[in-house]
Protein backbone atom coordinates (compact mmCIF):
# COMPACT_ATOMS: atom_id res chain seq x y z
CA UNK A 1 0.00 0.00 0.00
CA UNK A 2 1.13 3.51 -0.69
CA UNK A 3 0.77 6.06 2.10
CA UNK A 4 0.99 9.80 1.45
CA UNK A 5 1.84 12.38 4.12
CA UNK A 6 1.66 16.17 4.08
CA UNK A 7 5.10 16.97 5.36
CA UNK A 8 7.35 19.89 6.28
CA UNK A 9 10.43 17.95 5.17
CA UNK A 10 11.54 14.97 3.12
CA UNK A 11 12.35 12.29 5.70
CA UNK A 12 10.77 10.09 8.37
CA UNK A 13 11.90 12.50 11.05
CA UNK A 14 10.27 15.51 9.41
CA UNK A 15 7.22 16.95 11.07
CA UNK A 16 3.80 16.50 9.54
CA UNK A 17 2.71 19.70 7.79
CA UNK A 18 -0.75 20.39 9.21
CA UNK A 19 -1.92 22.04 5.98
CA UNK A 20 -3.16 20.24 2.89
CA UNK A 21 -3.31 22.76 0.07
CA UNK A 22 -0.21 24.63 1.14
CA UNK A 23 1.84 21.72 2.47
CA UNK A 24 5.58 22.08 1.87
CA UNK A 25 6.05 18.51 0.65
CA UNK A 26 4.05 15.44 -0.12
CA UNK A 27 5.94 12.37 1.04
CA UNK A 28 4.99 9.02 -0.39
CA UNK A 29 5.81 5.76 1.38
CA UNK A 30 5.54 2.51 -0.51
CA UNK A 31 4.95 -0.17 2.15
CA UNK A 32 5.80 -3.09 -0.13
CA UNK A 33 9.07 -1.72 -1.46
CA UNK A 34 9.74 0.14 1.78
CA UNK A 35 10.70 3.19 -0.25
CA UNK A 36 10.11 6.80 0.62
CA UNK A 37 9.98 9.66 -1.88
CA UNK A 38 9.12 13.34 -1.60
CA UNK A 39 7.46 15.86 -3.90
CA UNK A 40 8.15 19.54 -3.43
CA UNK A 41 4.83 21.40 -3.22
CA UNK A 42 6.23 24.89 -2.76
CA UNK A 43 4.99 26.25 -6.08
CA UNK A 44 1.45 25.42 -5.02
CA UNK A 45 2.00 26.86 -1.57
CA UNK A 46 2.52 30.23 -3.14
CA UNK A 47 -0.66 30.59 -5.17
CA UNK A 48 -3.30 33.02 -3.97
CA UNK A 49 -6.17 30.68 -4.67
CA UNK A 50 -6.74 27.12 -5.63
CA UNK A 51 -3.99 25.56 -3.52
CA UNK A 52 -6.40 22.84 -2.47
CA UNK A 53 -7.36 22.20 -6.06
CA UNK A 54 -3.75 22.02 -7.26
CA UNK A 55 -2.56 19.81 -4.38
CA UNK A 56 -5.56 17.51 -4.82
CA UNK A 57 -4.43 16.93 -8.40
CA UNK A 58 -0.91 16.12 -7.32
CA UNK A 59 -2.06 13.70 -4.63
CA UNK A 60 -4.51 12.10 -7.05
CA UNK A 61 -1.77 11.44 -9.56
CA UNK A 62 0.41 9.81 -6.89
CA UNK A 63 -2.50 7.48 -6.21
CA UNK A 64 -1.91 6.55 -2.57
CA UNK A 65 -4.44 4.37 -0.74
CA UNK A 66 -4.06 6.44 2.40
CA UNK A 67 -3.45 10.13 3.04
CA UNK A 68 -2.21 11.22 6.48
CA UNK A 69 -2.40 14.90 7.33
CA UNK A 70 -3.13 17.45 10.05
CA UNK A 71 -6.06 19.73 9.29
CA UNK A 72 -7.24 17.72 6.33
CA UNK A 73 -8.20 18.81 2.85
CA UNK A 74 -11.22 21.03 2.38
CA UNK A 75 -14.57 19.48 1.61
CA UNK A 76 -14.27 19.54 -2.17
CA UNK A 77 -10.79 18.00 -2.28
CA UNK A 78 -11.77 15.40 0.35
CA UNK A 79 -14.80 14.30 -1.62
CA UNK A 80 -12.78 14.07 -4.81
CA UNK A 81 -10.06 11.95 -3.22
CA UNK A 82 -12.46 9.70 -1.33
CA UNK A 83 -14.35 9.09 -4.56
CA UNK A 84 -11.30 7.12 -5.60
CA UNK A 85 -11.40 5.14 -2.36
CA UNK A 86 -8.56 6.99 -0.76
CA UNK A 87 -8.73 6.89 3.03
CA UNK A 88 -7.95 10.20 4.69
CA UNK A 89 -6.66 10.45 8.25
CA UNK A 90 -6.35 13.72 10.14
CA UNK A 91 -5.16 15.18 13.45
CA UNK A 92 -1.56 14.06 13.04
CA UNK A 93 -0.42 17.42 14.43
CA UNK A 94 2.95 17.99 16.07
CA UNK A 95 4.44 14.63 15.24
CA UNK A 96 7.01 13.24 12.85
CA UNK A 97 6.00 11.19 9.82
CA UNK A 98 7.28 8.11 11.60
CA UNK A 99 5.12 8.80 14.64
CA UNK A 100 2.14 9.57 12.44
CA UNK A 101 2.61 6.30 10.58
CA UNK A 102 2.72 4.38 13.85
CA UNK A 103 -0.39 6.14 15.11
CA UNK A 104 -2.16 5.26 11.89
CA UNK A 105 -1.14 1.62 12.15
CA UNK A 106 -2.43 1.51 15.72
CA UNK A 107 -5.73 2.98 14.66
CA UNK A 108 -5.14 6.13 16.70
CA UNK A 109 -5.75 8.70 13.93
CA UNK A 110 -9.16 10.06 13.06
CA UNK A 111 -10.54 9.04 9.69
CA UNK A 112 -12.42 11.59 7.63
Partner 1 sequence: MNEIVILSGKGGTGKTSITASLAVLAGNDAVIADCDVDAANMHLLLNPDFGTTIEFFSGELAVINQKQCTRCRKCEDACRFNAIGYADKKMQVIPIDCEGCGYCEIVCPTRAITMSERKSGNVFISNTKAGSKMVHARLDIGAENSGKLVARVKNEARSLAVAGNKAFVIIDGAPGIGCPVVSSLAGANYVLLVTEPTMSGLHDLKRICAVIRKFRIKAGCIINKWDLNEKKTTEIKQFLQNEQIEQLTDIPYDIRFTNAMTKGKTIVEVPSPYRQILHRIWNEIKSQLPK
Partner 2 sequence: MPFKIAIASGKGGTGKTLLATNLADYISQGVDTLLVDLDVEEPNDFIFIEGTNVNSVDQVKMIPSWNERQCTLCGNCARTCKYNAVIQLGTFIAVFNELCHSCYACSELCPANALPMKAFKMGETRTFSKGRLTFIESRLEIGEEQAVPLIRKTIIMADEIFHSIPFQIYDCPPGTSCPVVAATRHADLVILVTEPTPFGLNDLKLAVETMQDLGKPVGVVINRDGIGNSEVEDFCTREQLPVLAKIPFDREIAQRYSKGELVYNEVTNVKNALRKIASFVEKHFNP
- The C-alpha R_g of the chain, in whole angstroms, comes to 12
Of 57, 69, 63, give the one whose Cα is nearest residue 18. Answer: 69
Q: What single-letter DSSP state applies at residue 17? A: P
* Shortest reach from residue 65's CB to partner 1, in Å: 27
- In the region spanning residues 24 to 53, those forming contacts with partner 2, defined by CB under 8 A, are 49-50, 52-53
Decide if residue 65 touches partner 2 (CB under 8 A): no
Decide if residue 22 touches partner 1 (CB under 8 A): yes
Per CB under 8 A, the list member of 62, 80, 98, 99 interacting with partner 2 is: 80
Decide if residue 72 touches partner 2 (CB under 8 A): no
23-59 b/e (C-beta count within 10 Å ≥ 16 → b): bbbbbbbeeeeeeeebbebeebbeeeeebbebbbeeb
CA angle 59/7/97 to nearest 5° reads 110
Number of residues that bind partner 1 (CB under 8 A): 9
Decide if residue 72 touches partner 1 (CB under 8 A): no
Residues making contact with partner 2 (CB under 8 A):
49-50, 52-54, 56-57, 60, 76-77, 79-81, 83-84
Amino acid sequence: MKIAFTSSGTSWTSLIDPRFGRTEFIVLYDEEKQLISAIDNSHVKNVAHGAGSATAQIVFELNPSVLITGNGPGETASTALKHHHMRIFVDAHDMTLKQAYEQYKNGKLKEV
